[in-house]
Amino acid sequence: MQPDFWNDKRPAGVLPEIDINAYKSVVEVFERCCKKFADRPAFSNLGVTLTYAELERHSAAFTAYLQQHTDLQPGDRIAVQMPNLLQYPIAVFGALRAGLIVVNTNPLYTAREMRLQFKDSGARALVYLNVFGKLVQEVLPDTEIQYLIEVKMGDLQSAAKGWLINTVIEKVKKMVPAFNLPQAVLFKSVLKLGRGHALRGVKLTLDDIAVLQYTGGTTGLPKGAMLSHGNLVANMQQVHACFMQHGPDGAPMFKEGGEVMIAPLPLYHIYAFTANCMCMMVTGNHNVLITNPRDIGGFIKELKNWRFSAMIGLNTLFVALMEHPDFKNLDFSSLKLTNSGGTALVKATAERWQQITGCRIVEGYGLTETSPVASTNPYGDTARLGTVGIPVPGTAFKIIDDNGHELALGERGELCIKGPQVMKGYWHKPEASAEVLDAEGWLKTGDVAVIDPDGFVRIVDRKKDMIIVSGFNVYPNEIEDVVMAHPKVASCAVIGVPDERTGEAVKLFVVAREMGVSIEELKAYCKENFTGYKVPKLIVLRASLPMTPVGKILRRELRDIA
């Protein structure tokens, strides 16, 4: 189905097309918007608010430091590893203005996972929160990283408050294990050293890579999806076009520069990166960054400070908020949009949310490989629960059978996507890129879907064995490869099982070697090697695993048993 199939199905106000050439790069979007919304708040976090003008000034200082004090060249990679802090957008936009490629890194990665990503991307610089300094020290010798910039939680506070926050984190909560990285430059020093210097102009085009966003893609080990400036600019405009939807009064539901968006999902994840770091640029919105959304009490306390109009999240988070007794006492009178993505939305969660807040949750669909938004539901009463809405403007969807033939409306098959937000391919992996991208630019998603006759899309299954835990992709191959390295494991298999809290959970089946292995040993081993969401929640010891005649483990049979 071509993009125009959906044009008459869009709500009033939604623009049917976008002008991909309206901007030359993400940097141009950023600089234009910082001028246009100069005195408006851009980001708030830990009691500090930065206006667009201040964000521009800090990011310019960061850019100038990179240009004056390093030999990093446009196209070099810089990894950014921290939770939701004001330092994050400063570093990301500062790096992009220097023409660098940003490598978003999960701060909860283990040393093994960090090594893989840093080596594969060839990152030459790293911006990290000091809490993770010990791990950085451990992996550094195995990477090409030459430049380290160290962030502390209190960097952007007043001198007294900053000192207090950093002291509590280091001395009272003891969250910073001892490490020794004498070559690291403090983030505060970087801003000071860069302040006031003129920036060297960097010529960027829409075709240049802006971000390497790591994903298991649709197969196995993590790969860097090459997202160009054009991909990100297109997706910003596509989301903006959907924001133009008319409300009951016939005016756009979302006012430029007038929305307060709550950002609890990590900015290093593509969903929040685009929604809360990129898209807000076009509309001049105010983003409230939540550093630790797991502290639900603290999160709700922060929500009390704002008349918030939008929030993005996922099923797990919505459930956790509604379970807290103080949630129902918040002021929801301004809330117009709750967006769910990353993992399937449970019907009961959506109904309860609407009951408490008076706002419908609308579900969308996307992939790292689509920057990420590919489709979304209309806002308000026209949203359809159980679907991921319709493709965003300028995007085509089709359903194919196993032979690659296009299927009719209403038939289930593999979903393929074509649009200006589809990645250029996987970093240094031409074979993996060719597996998912065809010559015409169609991306095979690996998801089984149905396009209903009225244009709404339903995701019904996954072709691949990927597991989604709280919106994060977990690849059985990766878990199995690492568990097989345990000296007491003969064979193993990983599947996803339904979980009320996280959507799915990882279940590990293990056949032990002769000396035997305990579940406790396996748990400890997994905790050491995987970030939290990848650690198997359930571990089962078995005498054997179901296999094909050639010895391939049948995950399908294990799922049936489970």
Model confidence at 219, pLDDT cuts 50, 70, 90, reads very low
Q: Taking residues 431-439, what's their average pLDDT?
A: 95
Token pair belonging to 367: 């992939």
Token pair belonging to 322: 């509604």
Q: Which residues contact 329 (CB under 8 A, 6 or more apart)?
A: none
> How much is the CA Rg of the chain, to the nearest whole Å?
23
Token pair belonging to 47: 């009691």
Q: Which of 197, 178, 194 lies closest to 186 in space, CA to CA?
A: 194
Check whether 229 has a pLDDT greater than 50.
yes
Q: Taking residues 418-431, what's their average pLDDT?
A: 97
Cα gap 49→312, rounded to integer Å: 20
Check whether 8 has a pLDDT greater than 70.
yes
Model confidence at 216, pLDDT cuts 50, 70, 90, reads low
Burial environment of residue 102 by CB neighbours within 10 A (0 to 12, 13 to 18, 19 or more)? buried
Cα gap 138→146, rounded to integer Å: 14
Token pair belonging to 158: 């007043």
Residue given tokens 């990679």 in the structure block: 77
Q: Which of 1-15, 279-293, 402-416, 497-511 shows the lowest per-residue confidence on average (mean pLDDT)?
A: 1-15
pLDDT score of 220: 56
Task: Label the pairing between strands 101-104 and 77-81.
Answer: parallel
Token pair belonging to 447: 């998801």
| Contact between 473 and 245 (Cβ < 8 Å) | no
The overall average pLDDT reported for the chain is 93
Check whether 334 has a pLDDT greater than 50.
yes
pLDDT score of 474: 86
Check whether 254 has a pLDDT greater than 60.
yes
Cα gap 247→214, rounded to integer Å: 37
pLDDT score of 176: 97
Token pair belonging to 462: 């996954």
Q: What is the pLDDT of residues 385-411, one digit of tens each?
A: 889 999 999 999 999 998 999 999 999
Task: Label the pairing between strands 538-541 and 503-512.
Answer: parallel
Q: Taking residues 276-281, what's their average pLDDT?
A: 87
Instruction: Give CATH superfamily name and number for 467-561.
Output: ANL, C-terminal domain (3.30.300.30)
Model confidence at 218, pLDDT cuts 50, 70, 90, reads very low
Burial environment of residue 178 by CB neighbours within 10 A (0 to 12, 13 to 18, 19 or more)? exposed
Task: Label the pairing between strands 337-340 and 286-289.
Answer: unpaired
Enter the pTM of the model: 0.89
pLDDT score of 2: 80
- E strand or H helix that includes residue 97: helix 87-97
| Contact between 53 and 31 (Cβ < 8 Å) | no
Sheet containing 209-215, strands listed edge to edge, beginning at the edge strand earlier in sequence: 185-186, 147-151, 125-129, 77-81, 101-104, 209-215, 223-228
What values do phi and psi take at 494, rounded to 5? -125, 135
Check whether 222 has a pLDDT greater than 90.
no
Check whether 308 has a pLDDT greater than 90.
yes
pLDDT score of 78: 98
Check whether 550 has a pLDDT greater than 70.
no
Residue 300: how many other CB atoms lie within 10 Å: 16
Instruction: Domain ranges for the chain, please list them.
Output: 467-561
Cα within 13 Å of Cα(79), Cβ side: 32
